[in-house]
Structure 1
Amino acid sequence: MTDQNAEWSSSQLRRAIKAAGVALWTWNVDTDAFLMDRRGYELWGVEADGVLSFEHLSAMIHPADRDRV
């Protein structure tokens, strides 16, 4: 893949993510650290100034929905 194709693909992915209103995130299961893009922090309603844990985020999920996560 050429640099130009990679740049185009990356641009298309960013546009699709923005249009869908979704967020990107990653979870390091060894350290229990969640990192998200800006939209992720907005959707969860948390500050983007620190690393979040699964425990912290799961506490914000409605109890009836936790088993599905």
Structure 2
Amino acid sequence: MFRVGLLAQALHAATGEVTDEASAVERLGLQPRLVIGSRRNIKVTYAEDLAIAEALLQGAVP
């Protein structure tokens, strides 16, 4: 996660292809840090991910 102002600046300044928000911020010369979070905090991108998210919400996955 990035502060909205920094993210907007990074995306606006990005030339060429950036693969994600972190790569755009890196192009500003900054070094994003990884933070350990919950394994239950997943990104839903594909249909299979939605099934996993539903199982998590129903308590079927520890």
TM-score range, shorter chain: under 0.3
TM-score, length basis structure 1: 0.26
TM-score, length basis structure 2: 0.27
More helix by share: 1
